[in-house]
Structure 1
Amino acid sequence: MGDTKTNQKIVRRRPPRFELIAGAVCLDFINTLDDRFSSQPTELLKSYIDLARFGEDAGVLAPALADLLERGYGSPAAEKVLASALEMREAMFQVFAAMVNKKPVPPAALFKLNGYVQSAAEHARLVEENGGFEWRFDALPAGFDAPLWPIARSAADLLASRQVAYVRACASKTCQWFFLDTSKNHRRRWCDMTKCGNRAKFQRFYSRKKEAST
């Protein structure tokens, strides 16, 4: 089933701010808390503008809507939605982490995520597109929580699909980003071979070279 497109095709107007390498919007969203397991995690959603920009970068928020929403930066309503976004992200992480590690899903996390999924459903509708159907969310004017709707829908679609079995955590101890393993044999270990994969290869090469010299 894969990650469902929830908006019309959006033409990117500027270079993306976020690294979108997970293969699913919801997993890219989880990865916006970088270095999660370190003593000093890096928060990539520092403001509501970052949240709106993520939606645009991920292709689930039209540029015009992103611009409109960004004008609300600093308002109590926008800040409240940002807090909700971080709460939803943590619930998503707990649910997917349990799936990846083959452990029971925390009921509280699933309950919390379901709340956001149900809220998103109130703003979604099916539209006919190119001989088929796709999900669309409320167009302008929309509330500040508009970026959350397609992200929550992405999580619901992935969790309810067979592809959830191929969600992985990067094997790099300093990364552990989530990604969807779409490789032929489903044995991909790294979120990005050009980064974490090559770094691991270098470390193994260096270790072997050091052992050979002793």
Structure 2
Amino acid sequence: MVTHEWRESALPLQAGRLCLEFANTNDWHASQRPVEKLHAYADLVAWGQGVGLLADDEVEGLLAAAAHRPAEAEAALVRARRLREAIYRIFSALAAGQEPPADDLAALNAAIARSYASQRLAQSAQSFAWTWDHDPADLDRILWPVARSAADLLTSDQLERVGECADDRGCGWLFLDTSRNHSRRWCGMEACGNRAKARRHYERKRSAAQPA
């Protein structure tokens, strides 16, 4: 068994929460042509490493397990995508002030149950902390912190800060709005926000050029 302390706040997350970061592994989620980032189980492992969930030796262990059990790895990838889509639809609906789909909540609850079953309290010198304690070759292990993150966010006072990129092309990127006045609208100013700014500038120039 391998034990890992659970500290979501220590992860390098662009979206602000791990579950939202995971939902964003499908680019242009709200468009007619989303762009899948998780094509193979190795992509899921690479994502887990990129967000700080997996150390190098854990990556090697999971890739080796996937190579020896390719059918199980493919099934784990399918489960990961299904969980991701459930998480996206839940938080997208909530960001829009709508009720999340019941089927998606049921799917998330099932993942949360497995997540909590894989956690233990571990004692350090002066405190206790949640840890992950399970088979290091468990191909679903990346999903447990994701499900826990979704549960924590849904039951927190920050839920109302979840937003979705307002780009009209269907970016669909989810984020936790930490701006002081809760005014964030875009995935980032370097992408959709910059496009919207340029479009407003163009429209102002065009309006100014039109005869009165």
Report the TM-score, using the length of structure 1 for normalisation.
Answer: 0.86
| Separation (CA, whole Å) in 2 of partners of 1:47 and 1:29 | 15
The answer to whether structure 1 residue 76 and structure 2 residue 82 are counterparts is no
The answer to whether structure 1 residue 53 and structure 2 residue 49 are counterparts is no
Structure 2 partner of 1:30: 23
Query: Quick one: structure 1 residues 136 and 113, their matched pair in 2 at CA, closer, same or farther if it must change by over 3 Å?
Result: same
For residues 131-146 of structure 1, what are the structure 2 equivalents within 5 Å? 131-138=126-133, 141-146=136-141
Structure 1 partner of 2:198: 202
Check whether the contact 1:34–1:44 (CA below 8 A) recurs between aligned residues.
Answer: yes
Check whether the contact 1:34–1:41 (CA below 8 A) recurs between aligned residues.
Answer: yes
Structure 2 partner of 1:43: 36
Check whether the contact 2:61–2:137 (CA below 8 A) recurs between aligned residues.
Answer: no
Matched residue SS, 2:120: strand
Matched residue SS, 2:16: coil
How much identity, in percent, do the aligned residues show? 41
Report the TM-score, using the length of structure 2 for normalisation.
Answer: 0.87
Check whether the contact 1:8–1:136 (CA below 8 A) recurs between aligned residues.
Answer: no
Aligned residues: 203
Q: Which moved more, 1:75-84 or 1:140-149?
A: 140-149
Gaps of at least 5 residues in structure 2 are none
| Separation (CA, whole Å) in 2 of partners of 1:132 and 1:173 | 48
CA deviation after TM superposition for structure 1 residue 9, in Å: 9.5
Please tell me the residue identity of whatever aligns with 1:135: W
| Separation (CA, whole Å) in 1 of partners of 2:125 and 2:194 | 41
Check whether the contact 1:95–1:105 (CA below 8 A) recurs between aligned residues.
Answer: yes
> Which of residues 174, 178, 185 in structure 2 aligns to 1:182?
178
Structure 1 partner of 2:6: 6
| Separation (CA, whole Å) in 1 of partners of 2:132 and 2:46 | 17
CA deviation after TM superposition for structure 1 residue 138, in Å: 2.3
Query: Quick one: structure 1 residues 95 and 41, their matched pair in 2 at CA, closer, same or farther if it must change by over 3 Å?
Result: same
Question: In terms of Rg, which structure is larger?
Answer: 2
Gaps of at least 5 residues in structure 1 are 13-19
Check whether the contact 1:120–1:150 (CA below 8 A) recurs between aligned residues.
Answer: yes
Please tell me the residue identity of whatever aligns with 2:104: A
> Which of residues 55, 59, 74 in structure 2 aligns to 1:62?
55
Check whether the contact 2:19–2:149 (CA below 8 A) recurs between aligned residues.
Answer: yes
Check whether the contact 2:165–2:186 (CA below 8 A) recurs between aligned residues.
Answer: yes
Query: What RMSD, in angstroms, separates the aligned Cα atoms of the two structures?
Result: 2.3
